[in-house]
């Protein structure tokens, strides 16, 4: 029997835990994981018994981002197919961002690429002190397109320029300063910290919480519109199918430097 890559459990309080459950792959995601995760989020949003959503990763890591085999498959797709694939990720991000229920990201270990976007789309993010973050796409000749609007909103355009361009790793203490996460705690304290937040949320009116989220979105004109979503999908599709993106992925798979790095 095939194990579920995305698990969903709702307790008696109405706390729904959605878990990326591929610890052997560092919870990396592919097209089916993205689809299952979006379905789980939609179901939680529609479930009147659900009051709070906690998004988490099983094992040592939150998520390493895109699965290696999945990346290889996207490199072989046509531009149009890549646009469709990118729109699927953009749709996942938008679903999480606009979920009517409060969302908390529980982060440990690696949170790279698209995983960082998921964190930035959550209402609240708590990380362990061993968490590390990276927007590594440009190393492969790509760009963090679908997640870009959410990351820029979280950390601001100036910081986004630095971390999009340098692809440097961001330790947990820097991530809290940047606004990627709200709080950094010791690994043994993260569940207690999140439970305290959950209890605070459960004391508030569920309709009021949904209204608060809507208020923030409205006052900030929050979230990318359809034109921006389409632009990000076209951008990543063009990079994936272009010469540089193809070379970057080949170099990564072959464990060598890409052609643009001069020894």
pLDDT of residue 221: 65
As a whole number of angstroms, the distance between CA 91 and CA 70 comes to 18
Tell me yes or no: is domain 6-188+200-206 CATH 3.90.226.10.
yes
pLDDT of residue 1: 44
Low-confidence ranges of the chain (pLDDT < 70): 1-2, 221-224, 262-263
Query: How far apart, in Å, are the Cα atoms of 2 and each of 5, 20, 112, 235?
Result: 9, 15, 26, 35
Say which residues have a Cβ less than 8 Å from residue 35's Cβ, sequence separation at least 6: 88
pLDDT of residue 149: 94
pLDDT of residue 228: 81
As a whole number of angstroms, the distance between CA 246 and CA 68 comes to 14
The DSSP result for 207-220, as a single string, is HHHHHHHHHHHHHT
Task: Match 């004109």 to its residue by tokens.
Answer: 221
pLDDT of residue 75: 85
Query: How far apart, in Å, are the Cα atoms of 75 and each of 6, 72, 260?
Result: 25, 5, 18
Do 233 and 146 form a contact (C-beta atoms < 8 A)?
Answer: yes
pLDDT of residue 93: 97
Task: Match 């643009």 to its residue by tokens.
Answer: 260
Do 248 and 258 form a contact (C-beta atoms < 8 A)?
Answer: yes
Supply the pTM of this predicted model: 0.89
As a whole number of angstroms, the distance between CA 58 and CA 24 comes to 9
């Amino acid at each position: 029997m095939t194990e579920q890559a995305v698990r969903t459990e709702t307790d008696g309080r109405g706390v729904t835990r959605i878990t990326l459950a591929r610890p052997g792959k560092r919870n990396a995601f592919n097209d089916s994981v993205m689809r299952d995760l979006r379905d789980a989020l939609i179901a939680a949003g529609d479930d009147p018994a659900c009051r709070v959503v906690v998004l988490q990763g099983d094992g040592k890591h939150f998520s390493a981002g895109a699965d290696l085999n999945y990346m290889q498959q996207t490199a072989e797709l046509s531009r149009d197919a890549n646009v469709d694939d990118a729109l699927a990720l953009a749709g996942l991000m938008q679903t999480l961002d606009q979920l009517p229920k409060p969302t908390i990201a529980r982060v440990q270990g690696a949170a790279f690429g698209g995983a960082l976007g998921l964190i930035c789309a959550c209402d609240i993010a708590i990380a362990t002190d061993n968490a590390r973050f990276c927007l590594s796409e440009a190393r492969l000749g790509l760009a963090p397109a679908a997640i870009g609007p959410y990351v820029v909103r979280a950390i601001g355009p100036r910081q986004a320029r630095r971390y999009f361009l340098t692809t440097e790793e961001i330790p947990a203490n820097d991530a809290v300063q940047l606004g990627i996460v709200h709080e950094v705690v010791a690994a043994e304290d993260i569940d207690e910290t999140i439970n305290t937040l959950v209890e605070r949320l459960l004391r508030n009116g569920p309709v009021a919480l949904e209204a608060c989220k809507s208020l923030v979105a409205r006052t900030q004109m929050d979230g990318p519109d359809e034109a921006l979503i389409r632009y990000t999908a076209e951008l990543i599709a063009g990079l994936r199918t272009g010469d540089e993106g193809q070379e970057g992925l080949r170099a990564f798979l072959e464990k060598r430097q890409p052609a643009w790095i001069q020894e």
